[in-house]
Amino acid sequence: MIKFTEKAPYSPVEYLYDVEEILYKGKSKFQEIMVITNPYFGRMLILDDVVQITERDEFFYHEMLTHVVMYAQSNPKKVIVIGGGDGGVVREVLKHKSVEKVYFVEIDEDVINVSRKFFPTVSCGMDDPRVEIKIMDGADFIKKIKTPEIDAIIIDSTDIIGFARSLFTKEFFTSVKNCLTHEGMFVTHTESMHFHKDMVIELQEALKEVFPLVDLYSAPIATYPGNWWVFAVATNGASPREIKRNFDINTKYYSDEIHQQAFITKGLYEKLMQRKLQW
Ligand code: SAM
């Protein structure tokens, strides 16, 4: 059987996958896009040799990236999803009945088209009338919003290199802060607690320069190097740890119990930020 070796930019290990079939391989304006099938993970979306999602475990990441900030608010109506061209986060956001509008801002239209074709169970929300697709850099989209009208801004980008860098600057965070409502929340993936501690700390510090409240929670992701994946949340003061509504949607992993357990404990967080963790 042919093998695919992942080349994740910040990983000290390389994952090797059996490839049953290459279903698609092409080059967009921004990146190389590949869809393969693996006997365990099913279909896998790979961008520039980095695994983005797999049919088998995508829900861990998509549910955890979405529902923590959504359930920590009483009535989220307007949401911006940046990146996430596969549609997984959009699908999860739409499960919330209060949602009236989702701006889905993806820089690479080809990723959306490939996902529509090869990942129908992930891309299934894209044609919902509440969704407006914008093909552009998420940082440019956010800059144009001048009033605090957005309830959740969710970053589902590729790793922090190349064109995804615009989503991790102080200037971007400041624009995000200015368009969030009083209860509004920003969330972004921030790599792994095992392999990328310094990146996790630096991102927390950068967010703290802009937002009054910054926090960190985690989820187990089988296919992302380091597996103990963390998510940075930033708000204008509202606590992301507090669940504001009854849990009333179908999920495979996220629940109100998981929400409460997912946050990094105070002691661990302090040690992390004081650079005292001994690994
Ligand atoms: N869940 C995946 C992961 O963490 O590996 C991410 C999946 S999603 C396909 C990532 C998407 O982010 C890509 O399709 C990429 O084109 C998009 N992206 C990266 N930088 C972007 C930017 N500045 N603005 C909008 N979309 C961006």
Nearest CA to ligand 1 atom 5: 52
The model's pLDDT over 1-53, given as tens digits with 9 standing for 90+, comes to 899 999 998 899 999 999 999 999 999 999 999 999 999 999 999 999 999 99
Per-residue burial over 19-53, b if 16 or more Cβ lie within 10 Å, else e, is eeeeeeeeebebbebbbbbbeebebbbbbbebbbb
The model's pLDDT over 203-248, given as tens digits with 9 standing for 90+, comes to 999 999 999 999 999 999 999 999 999 999 999 999 999 999 999 9
Ligand 1 close to Cβ of residue 52 (< 6 A): yes
Task: Dig out the tokens for 169 from the structure.
Answer: 């600057």
Which pTM does this prediction carry? Answer: 0.98
- The Å distance, Cα 108 to ligand 1 centre, comes to 8
- The Å distance, Cα 270 to ligand 1 centre, comes to 30
Which residue in 108, 156, 159, 215 is the catalytic one? 156
Nearest CA to ligand 1 atom 17: 83
The model's pLDDT over 87-106, given as tens digits with 9 standing for 90+, comes to 999 999 999 999 999 999 99
Task: Dig out the tokens for 204 from the structure.
Answer: 């927390």
Q: Which of 158, 165, 189 to mutate to test the pocket of ligand 1 (most atoms within 8 A of CB)?
A: 158
Ordered structural domains, the chain, with CATH: 2-54 (2.30.140.10), 58-273 (3.40.50.150)
- Residue whose entry in the numeric block shows the structure tokens 């930019």: 9
Asked whether the predicted pLDDT for residue 161 surpasses 90, the reply is: no
Residues contacting 111, CB < 8 A, separation 6+: 28, 31, 33, 45, 47, 85, 86
| Strand ranges in 161-238 using DSSP code E only, listed in sequence order | 180-192, 213-220, 228-235
* Residue 264 banded pLDDT, cuts 50, 70, 90: very high
Q: Is 156 a catalytic residue?
A: yes
Quote the pLDDT of residue 160.
Answer: 85
Ligand 1 close to Cβ of residue 6 (< 6 A): no
Task: Dig out the tokens for 112 from the structure.
Answer: 């959306």
Q: First vs last Cα of the chain: how many Å apart? A: 36
Nearest CA to ligand 1 atom 8: 84
Mean pLDDT (the chain, rounded): 97
Closest by alpha carbon to 76, among 104, 47, 100? 100
The model's pLDDT over 64-73, given as tens digits with 9 standing for 90+, comes to 999 999 999 9
Ligand 1 close to Cβ of residue 157 (< 6 A): yes
Quote the pLDDT of residue 265.
Answer: 97
- The Å distance, Cα 278 to ligand 1 centre, comes to 32
